[in-house]
């Protein structure tokens, strides 16, 4: 099974490469985003391990271009340590999983097995909570199978809350991850939450006064 490893750091790439080869994969490596994009478009891989910080073209751009052109090869994004926004952007751009650096090789291998297994049924890009489904590839939210017309900001809000399902997310964290910066007022966020509640139903976003918002896990 061929894996595309996209990593510009030679030392990290060699470590990963050794672990993958030891686990029986065939590894092809790209050092920059341009080469990675080209290989992903022209060759067949069972999965891609994609560092997001890359020379020439960054990993997020590469991932978005693949997904836009219909390439659904499962991707694990390697993100900078502790960067919430990078993880969310990675998932938003169509990553199937992510791993923050530094990580244990065993964990990378386990996640790789998991996304390869899931990709067999291609269910991996759709997250669901009960009647609510989020399709990361088409960037659509469906309620009872019916697409809901959401703006990009509204989609990002739903995607982030689904991603952190059953956890209380503070207003500040939401502002950073939905707007990509923290100079938005909490008023703007409240207005956005209100619009999404009107479209989906108020029960999907609970207010935890003084703490933030929460999307409850529902029984399907
Ligand atoms: Ca890098």
Report the CATH number at residue 101: 3.40.50.2300
For ligand 1, the distance from its centroid to the CA atom of residue 161, given in whole angstroms, is 28
The pLDDT score that the predictor gives to residue 194 is 97
Q: Residues 126-157: pLDDT tens digits?
A: 778 889 998 866 778 999 989 999 998 898 89
Nearest Cα neighbor of 3 from 112, 85, 123, 125 is 112
Q: Residues 92-120: pLDDT tens digits?
A: 899 999 999 999 999 999 999 888 887 76
The pLDDT score that the predictor gives to residue 220 is 42
pTM for this prediction: 0.56
For ligand 1, the distance from its centroid to the CA atom of residue 53, given in whole angstroms, is 4
For ligand 1, the distance from its centroid to the CA atom of residue 51, given in whole angstroms, is 6
For ligand 1, the distance from its centroid to the CA atom of residue 64, given in whole angstroms, is 18
In sequence order, the 6+-apart residues with CB closer than 8 A to the CB of 87 are 77, 79, 98, 100
For ligand 1, the distance from its centroid to the CA atom of residue 220, given in whole angstroms, is 40
Q: 193 is written with which tokens?
A: 């939450």
Range of the domain at 185: 126-214
The pLDDT score that the predictor gives to residue 219 is 46
**Beta strand extents in 89-198 (DSSP E only):** 97-100, 126-129, 132-135, 140-143, 146-148
Domain identity same for 130 and 114:
no
For ligand 1, the distance from its centroid to the CA atom of residue 54, given in whole angstroms, is 5
In a domain, 205, yes or no: yes
Residue ending a domain, choose from 119, 154, 187:
119
Domain identity same for 106 and 147:
no
* Cis amide bond preceding 102, omega within 30: yes
For ligand 1, the distance from its centroid to the CA atom of residue 104, given in whole angstroms, is 17
For ligand 1, the distance from its centroid to the CA atom of residue 29, given in whole angstroms, is 13
Q: Which residues of the chain have pLDDT under 70?
A: 120-125, 136-137, 180-183, 218-220
In a domain, 219, yes or no: no
The pLDDT score that the predictor gives to residue 123 is 45
Distances (CA, A) of 37 to 53, 84, 167: 14, 24, 35
């Amino acid at each position: 099974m061929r894996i595309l490893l996209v990593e510009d750091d030679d030392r990290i790439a060699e470590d990963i490469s050794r672990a993958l080869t030891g686990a029986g994969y065939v590894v092809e490596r790209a050092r920059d985003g341009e080469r990675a994009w080209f290989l992903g478009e022209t060759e067949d891989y069972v999965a891609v391990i994609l560092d997001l910080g890359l020379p020439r073209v960054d990993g997020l751009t590469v991932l978005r271009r693949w997904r836009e052109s219909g390439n659904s090869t499962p991707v694990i994004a390697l993100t900078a340590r502790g960067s919430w926004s990078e993880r969310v952007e990675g998932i938003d751009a169509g990553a199937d999983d992510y791993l923050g650096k530094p990580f244990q090789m065993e964990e990378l291998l386990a996640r790789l097995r998991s996304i390869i297994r899931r990709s067999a049924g291609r269910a991996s890009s759709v997250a669901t909570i009960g009647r609510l489904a989020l399709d990361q590839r088409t960037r659509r939210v469906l309620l009872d199978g019916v697409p809901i017309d959401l703006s990009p900001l509204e989609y990002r809000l739903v995607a982030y809350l689904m991603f952190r399902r059953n956890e209380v997310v503070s207003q500040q964290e939401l502002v950073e991850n939905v707007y990509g910066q923290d100079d938005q007022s909490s008023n703007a966020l409240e207005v956005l939450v209100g619009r999404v509640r009107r479209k989906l139903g108020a029960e999907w976003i609970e207010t935890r006064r003084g703490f933030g918002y929460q999307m409850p896990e529902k029984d399907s």
